[in-house]
Amino acid sequence: MSTHVRSYSKINLGLAIGPTRPDGFHGLTTVYQTLELHDVVTVTAKRAATTKIILTTNDERVPTDNRNTCWKMVEKALSRLGIPAEVAIHIDKRLPVQGGMGAGSANAAAALIGLERELDAALPGGERLSLAGEVGSDVPLFLLGGSVLGIGRGEQVVPLPDMPPVFCVIAVPEVGVSTPQAFRDWDTLAENEGLTQSGKPDRLNQLSLAYAALYAEPGTSGIIRGDDAEVVSASHLDDLAENILLSLVRTGVENDFERVVFPAYPSLREIKRELVGFSGSESGHALYAALSGSGSALFGLYRSEADAQAAQQRVQSGGTKALMTKTLPRSLYWTKMFAG
């Protein structure tokens, strides 16, 4: 029997890039937010004398050998568990490749979750997160879901209070952005502007403080839990989500990658404008919009389904594919994880 796992996507609610660390990675501070949009990863596994992994996919751009994050995850997990097994993995790809939505990382986390269910064996929580961080910087967040603070190179994750679901439009340009190249471009920009490790402002600390202030603001820091959820109106939850997003905007949080990706891909800057819309009487104005990760996907968050639909139509009229979805809080992330 096989296990089908929804491999959800993410956006970055702000991302600050710090100096290069001794290990060659950049320090980062970001807030991840999971979305309902997903791939489906199917895992079939049985214990065997020796380990064998077979990986298939419906997208020819996805590697099907040990370069794939799912393959790496399963191979490492079996080694840590001390269990040889025959494992078949199929990735039904629905999310963009090189889109900045964490699709490959989410696939790896989904493969681990499916493998553990198939073998009825699991690593301890801390070891799972450590393994996930070895496979990729974005992988650990998908073992938490919801709103997640990412520090280090993004792999050190802390669950944050979740905001209620809000409507989201994802713009999916045809162009793909290379994350390694985006980091190289950032290094060039930082050098040209004199943002050395000793001289640049501590933006990572600044952003961490901004996030702390955001979630500590009166009326926006609480999580609706247990019986309390039954007496809270839908309008109150909508207000809570909007207050969190407006607080985010007031902190001045942004994605540093926009400074190097938009000059290299001017069309992405224009797509962001289409997502934002115009304040005032025009419908579809975004509460917040940004590049996700290093791109090329961009997103906007909206007060209502009608606003999201208006933004989706605006982006599509400009010739760019646009998908409407909702943010996915932690409780729903795990409730809806396993597909039928």
pLDDT (tens digit, 0 to 9) for every residue of the chain, 340 residues total?
A: 899 999 999 999 889 898 888 888 888 888 899 999 999 999 999 999 999 999 999 999 999 999 999 999 999 999 999 999 999 999 999 987 767 899 999 999 999 999 999 999 999 988 999 999 999 999 999 999 999 989 888 888 988 888 889 999 999 998 888 889 999 999 999 888 865 544 444 566 666 666 665 555 444 333 333 333 333 344 544 555 566 666 666 666 789 999 999 999 999 999 999 999 975 545 678 989 999 988 899 999 998 999 999 999 999 999 999 999 999 999 999 999 998 7
Residues 150 and 223 grouped into a single domain: no
Domain boundary among 116, 147, 162: 162
Residue 131 placed within a domain: yes
Residues 112 and 204 grouped into a single domain: no
pLDDT for the residue numbered 213: 59
pLDDT for the residue numbered 295: 85
**Residues labelled as active-site residues:** 10, 138
Residues 110 and 215 grouped into a single domain: no
Residue 64 placed within a domain: yes
E strands within the chain?
3-20, 26-47, 52-57, 85-92, 147-151, 156-159, 167-172, 288-291, 298-302, 321-326
pLDDT for the residue numbered 281: 46
Residues 177 and 307 grouped into a single domain: yes
Residue 44 placed within a domain: yes
Residue 337 placed within a domain: no
Give the span between the Cα atoms of 94 and 109, in whole angstroms.
16
Residues 186 and 155 grouped into a single domain: no
The residues that bridge with 64 in the sheet, in sequence order, are none
The residue written with tokens 């795990």 in the block is 334
Are the C-beta atoms of residues 269 and 171 closer than 8 Å to each other?
Answer: no
Q: Which residues of 102-134 are buried (b: 16+ CB within 10 A; e: fewer)?
A: bbbbbbbbbbbbbbbbbbebebeeeebbebbbe
Residues 186 and 287 grouped into a single domain: yes
pLDDT for the residue numbered 20: 85
Residue 96 placed within a domain: yes
The answer, as to whether pTM is greater than 0.95, is no
Are the C-beta atoms of residues 20 and 125 closer than 8 Å to each other?
Answer: no
pLDDT for the residue numbered 231: 39
- Classify strands 167-172 and 321-326 as parallel, antiparallel or unpaired: antiparallel
pLDDT for the residue numbered 200: 45
Helix, strand, coil percentages, rounded to 5, for the chain: 40, 25, 35
pLDDT for the residue numbered 236: 47
Residue 104 is part of which domain span?
3-162
Structure token digits, residue 96: 């963009």
Find the CATH number of the domain harbouring 184. 3.30.70.890
Structure token digits, residue 227: 């019986």
Residues 134 and 240 grouped into a single domain: no
Residues 12 and 155 grouped into a single domain: yes
Residue 237 placed within a domain: yes
Return the amino acid letter for 140. P
Number of domains in the chain: 2
Residues 118 and 211 grouped into a single domain: no
Residue 340 placed within a domain: no
Residue 47 placed within a domain: yes
Residues 325 and 177 grouped into a single domain: yes
Residues 146 and 192 grouped into a single domain: no
